[in-house]
Structure 1
Amino acid sequence: MELLNSLYAPKVGIFLAFLSSIFWGVGGFCAGQASRRAALLPILTLDIFIGICVVTPLSFLVADSFTLKDFLIGGFAGLFGIGGAGFLYAGMQKATYVTVIPASGVVSALVPVVWGVFSGDNLSFLHIVAVVVGLVSIALTSGVTLQTFTGSLNGLKEGILAGLGFGGFFVVIENTSKDTEPWASVGSRVFPLFILLFILRLTRNSQKPSKTAIPYVLGSGLANVTASTCFLFAVNRGMLSITSLLSALYPAITVLIAHFLISEKMTKSQIFGVGAAIFSMASIAIG
């Protein structure tokens, strides 16, 4: 990692955060395709298990040291993440996509931005503009329109709680050390895996993902663990407010992938959202 730091310093945090948004975008697309072909709990469990199989050997190879403290911090962050996912899917069961997703997306980005600013992140004027535009882009690419605010707000509470969970993951995982990365990423998966296995056991859910879902689950697991590991490296080298916002711009990536791979039509708001995301990324890189 020192070689990577020397190549990209002082922009290495921004570069890695940008990579994390790309991989989370890919993971979101793959997870969406998998969810259309298999039940949710088996997908989540296999996704996390794949991530553990990838990041554990990586940790032995690249980590300078292992501390139980950082591993447990990662596990605590993972509990926030799985809690966010639970509220997100609960909201999706009772409300429309355009109510839950924008709320969770904006809140998940806003929480670490606010936390970072109050913790001492020194943002330039261009950074502040990029943050505001980035938050708007998350809402737009998630499908929000003017009609969203005139319809039912059913599910809004779950969307906000999901955002708090995901935002909490960003805030908590920041408190780990460079020396132990990416062990915190392992911890963030081990703890949720035990919870999911317990739920599967409790509900006696023996469903397995179909053969058509397996490639997408594999893609989701690989992309998501790469994204979270990139974010862990990024937040240890850059400001929380900036790295978390860049990472949270992944809906723009998911929308673009869906448009080009499966010909999903982009709405005008999504097109504006993608443009806003590009502007936000460029402004952060320049600033």
Structure 2
Amino acid sequence: MTAVVLATACALVYGTADFFGGLATRRSRLLAVVVLSQFSGLVFVAAVLSAMPGSPSVEALLWGMVAGVSGTTGLLLFYRALAAGTMSVVAPTTATTSAAVPVLFGLVSGERPALTALAGVVLALAAVLLVSRAPKGAAASAPTGPLLSALAAGAGFGGFFILVAQAPHDAGLWPLAGARTVSIALVVVLALITRRTVRPGPGALPIIAVSGVLDMLANMLYLLAAQRGLLSLVAVLVSLYPATTILLARFVLRERLRRLQMGGVVMALAAVALIATG
């Protein structure tokens, strides 16, 4: 039950972080958003590390670093898709892919959830698909570029979920420190090579900082959930984060949502209940 609560909370925080990330990419250049949000997340995890149980080890840091490469690739592609596409379409597309990869990995590696939990997994994936339905007219006019970027971003996030969960359970949050350090280094190098500025746009810095802190908080919740539950269940619960994103997009940005999307939100809640009882 603890893993279910942590994973569900993670989905709520991830969805909110992605909403702020999408807003930030509309006010600043992509690399500026990524570098500054990642840095704010690193400062946050550094402040929390001393208060959390766990000790650093070479194995934990290495798993975190490898996961950081995968996650950073996914993040760059995801923010690129958010900036060019419709937020309520891009986020669920990425989530579907990022859920499928670790769920399949967990099942192949020998995880055997209860039947009710498996039913919840199926319902959750269906919920994400419903949530991903675009408003009328959007699907026909949506460019393929953002969609492909969203799919690739999902693969990167799925790889992050798998890799960071391989770190020793007694490592605490140290794998996230390794992941975030590598991600910042990669993006800074990319900025230097491409000679692109990392200066935020006017008024964008607070939004970027909030996005980075929330993203790291979600990573913490995910790691704690993965240490206490099955990867195939935790990952699919985390993948429900687009429900938060689309609701924020609906009420803050006034993006139109179809009834199927709202039905997907209801199905997501039912999926959480099934997985919790399993």
TM-score (ref. length: structure 2):
0.90
Q: Which moved more, 1:210-219 or 1:91-100?
A: 91-100
1:59 aligns with 2:49: yes
Which secondary structure state, in structure 2, belongs to the residue aligned with residue 120 of structure 1?
coil
1:31 aligns with 2:21: yes
Query: 48, 71, 83: which is aligned to 2:61?
Result: 71
Q: CA deviation at 1:286?
A: 1.9
- Contact 1:98 1:142 survives alignment (8 Å): yes
* Alpha-carbon distance change, 230 to 286 in structure 1, aligned in 2, over 3 angstroms: same
* Alpha-carbon distance change, 29 to 284 in structure 1, aligned in 2, over 3 angstroms: same
Letter in 2 for 1:84: G
Q: CA deviation at 1:23?
A: 0.7
* 1:230-280 per-position Cα deviation (integer Å, ceiling 9, x unaligned): 100110100001111111110001122233344443222221111111111
- Partner residue of 2:159? 168
- Partner residue of 2:222? 231
Letter in 2 for 1:30: F
Letter in 2 for 1:170: F
- Contact 1:98 1:148 survives alignment (8 Å): no
- Partner residue of 1:220? 211
Q: Which moved more, 1:162-171 or 1:60-69?
A: 60-69
- Partner residue of 1:247? 238
Q: Which moved more, 1:39-48 or 1:93-102?
A: 93-102
Superposed, 1:173-212 pairs within 5 Å as: 173-212=164-203
Query: 69, 73, 78: which is aligned to 1:83?
Result: 73
Letter in 1 for 2:190: I
* 1:74-116 per-position Cα deviation (integer Å, ceiling 9, x unaligned): 1111111111223345556887767755443211101111111
- Partner residue of 1:44? 34
- Partner residue of 1:8? none
Query: 90, 105, 121: which is aligned to 2:95?
Result: 105
* Alpha-carbon distance change, 152 to 144 in structure 1, aligned in 2, over 3 angstroms: closer
Letter in 2 for 1:216: I
Query: 118, 122, 125: which is aligned to 2:108?
Result: 118
* Alpha-carbon distance change, 157 to 266 in structure 1, aligned in 2, over 3 angstroms: closer
* 1:188-240 per-position Cα deviation (integer Å, ceiling 9, x unaligned): 11101001111111222235213421221121011100000110011010000
Which secondary structure state, in structure 2, belongs to the residue aligned with residue 51 of structure 1?
helix
Query: Aligned partners of 1:159 and 1:210: how far apart in 2?
Result: 24
TM-score (ref. length: structure 1):
0.87
Query: Aligned partners of 1:148 and 1:124: how far apart in 2?
Result: 38
Q: CA deviation at 1:148?
A: 8.1
Letter in 2 for 1:140: L
* Alpha-carbon distance change, 219 to 252 in structure 1, aligned in 2, over 3 angstroms: same
- Contact 1:74 1:185 survives alignment (8 Å): yes
- Contact 2:29 2:201 survives alignment (8 Å): no
Query: Aligned partners of 1:77 and 1:112: how far apart in 2?
Result: 13
Query: Aligned partners of 1:15 and 1:92: how far apart in 2?
Result: 28
Query: Aligned partners of 2:52 and 2:87: how far apart in 1?
Result: 40
Structure 1 spans left out of the alignment, 5+ residues: 1-10
- Contact 1:105 1:139 survives alignment (8 Å): no
1:18 aligns with 2:8: yes
Structure 2 spans left out of the alignment, 5+ residues: none
1:282 aligns with 2:273: yes
Which secondary structure state, in structure 1, belongs to the residue aligned with residue 167 of structure 2?
coil
- Contact 1:134 1:245 survives alignment (8 Å): yes
* Alpha-carbon distance change, 122 to 75 in structure 1, aligned in 2, over 3 angstroms: same
Q: CA RMSD in A?
A: 2.5
- Partner residue of 1:7? none
* Alpha-carbon distance change, 112 to 226 in structure 1, aligned in 2, over 3 angstroms: same
